[in-house]
Chains A and B, each alone.
Chain A
Amino acid sequence: MPEIASQELRVVGFLCNWCSYGGADTAGVSRFKQPTDLRIIRVPCSGRVDPLFVVKALLNGADGVLVSGCHPRDCHYSDGNFYARRRLEMLKKLLPFLGIEEKRFHYTWVSASEGARWQQTVTDFTKRIHELGPLHAKKEVTP
């Protein structure tokens, strides 16, 4: 992957199609200013997010990972985010055991109408990752 100029870090976002992706879209349409570090990957539902997606991203170059879905009880597939919540909580507790700061990973719920909330989430999370600095400073990164 080409070196990214400037001070940008790599933040990967897994966003569910029905709520958070819409929320990000709303923020964009409303022209809310957001940091540009985030690369969004659209998934059908937060229940599609295998914790291994997060780990793979972190091991292969991401400095932070954000997962966002519909609010509990609002999942388009009714249960997806309930399963996601259990898995992602488990992962959050496991990361520090491996020696990876749990703050590099965040999961949350943002609905399609919450453009401002989305803007806040991205801004705060990106700020936090910048405080932590790059994860892969000295390490080999295999593409």
Chain B
Amino acid sequence: MISQKLQDAIAGVSDKVDVVIAYQQGFDKLHATPCFMTTPEEIKNVIWNPLCVHNLTSYLPSLKKKKVAVLAKGCDSRTILQFIQEGLINRENVTIIGIPCSGVISVNKILQAINHEPVEDVSFDEKGNITVKTSKGEKTFSLQDVCPDKCKTCRFPTPIVYDVLVGDPIESNKTYDDAYADIKEFENKPIEERLKYWEGEFDRCIRCYACRNACPMCVCQDSCIAETRDPHWISQRATLSEKFMFHMIHALHLAGRCVECGECERVCPMNIPVNKLKRKINLDMKELYNYEPGVTPEDKPPMYTFNVDEVTIKEHKI
């Protein structure tokens, strides 16, 4: 069992670190929850299954001074590379336990499919199907149907960077274009429709800032300009323009930095597609500056640098 291998791998590194960040069972069978382990006795609580959705590497910058071992799926490993590019972690303090991942599950998609009934039991079979039991009976879903959209076009199922790898590497046959097909499609909608779409989505926002706080690259956190009075970017009014502005702050501060882990979108209690704007910017970053966040440690984020002659930028005429 992969859980056993994982527990062994953790046991192997745990005496070299202050804390191990992994997953354990959450409040019901459908939810895993992050756990911070400081003693070997806790290792037996560790679980690994497609419900382990959280990007645990998000906690790393706040633990910069500690020695940390962290579990990382393929997509999560991009976060670590981006941290390295931006000098947000000390690589030598981090032990990465990589896990090749064949896709996780969107809890929201399951909940929608079972009409938000309380879950009694969850099981997985060899083929990667998930069976969910509620008081109304059992339902089985194939992973493809209930995974988050990011997994459908995942190009990095095997961590790009790791110290220990648990399980065999997995290859992906997905291309860059597959990953952005939905963005291109949205771009082709009439402009009025696009505005209406965003207004409708942002209107639901309650500015709980879960999206921001869950984002590994949102490192300002406590000093975020969405909340400060000085500078006073936005007020406490619950109006559409203030909500819109908050999302622009989030998107633009992530320009060329978003590793597309999808945490922002996963955590939103109002189901707002928070990641879409950042993915659009990423698409442009690739076109303009041939840059993709979190794929090599040596790259420089495009907004941190420039070329004197930008061949891809044409001068705009009025």
Contacts and interface: CB of A to CB of B under 8 A. Distances in A.
Chain A in direct contact with chain B (Cβ < 8 angstroms): yes
Interface residues on A, range: 35 or more
A25 B313 CA distance: 29
Interface in A116-135: 121, 124-125, 128
Contact of A85 (B195, B239, B256, B313): B313
13 contacts: A59-B241, A59-B244, A83-B306, A85-B313, A86-B302, A87-B255, A90-B255, A94-B281, A97-B277, A98-B194, A99-B195, A125-B318, A142-B242
A41 to B, nearest CB: 15
B19 to A, nearest CB: 36
A89 B306 CA distance: 12
B316 A140 contact: no
A114 interface: no
Contact of B195 (A51, A60, A79, A100): A100
Contact of B318 (A60, A89, A92, A128): A128
Given A73-B308, A85-B306, A52 B249 contact: yes
Contacts of A55: 245, 248, 252
Contact of B284 (A90, A121, A125): A90
Q: Size class of B's contact patch?
A: 35 or more
B288 interface: yes
Contacts of A128: 318
A124 B318 CA distance: 6
B251 A140 contact: no
B196 to A, nearest CB: 7
A106 B303 contact: no
A140 B240 CA distance: 9
Given A72-B308, A97-B187, A140-B241, A108 B281 contact: no
A51 B252 contact: yes
B284 A93 contact: yes
A128 B318 CA distance: 8
Contacts of B307: 82
A51 B242 CA distance: 16
Of listed B187, B192, B284, B288, residue having the most chain A CB within 10 A: B284
B280 A94 contact: yes
B59 interface: no
Interface in B195-223: 195-199
Contacts of A98: 194-195, 198, 277
Looking at chain A's contact residues, is the secondary structure mostly helix, strand, loop, or mixed? helix
Nearest to B197: A99
B233 A56 contact: yes
B288 A90 contact: yes
B237 interface: yes
Nearest to A108: B316
A86 B196 contact: no
Given A55-B245, A59-B248, A96-B191, A86 B237 contact: no
B175 to A, nearest CB: 22
B310 interface: yes
Nearest to B245: A59
A90 B277 CA distance: 12
Given A82-B306, A94-B284, 14 more contacts: A55-B248, A72-B308, A82-B308, A94-B280, A96-B191, A97-B187, A97-B194, A97-B277, A98-B277, A99-B193, A99-B196, A99-B198, A140-B239, A140-B240
A47 to B, nearest CB: 10
A40 interface: no
B181 to A, nearest CB: 15
Contacts of A87: 255, 303
B20 interface: no
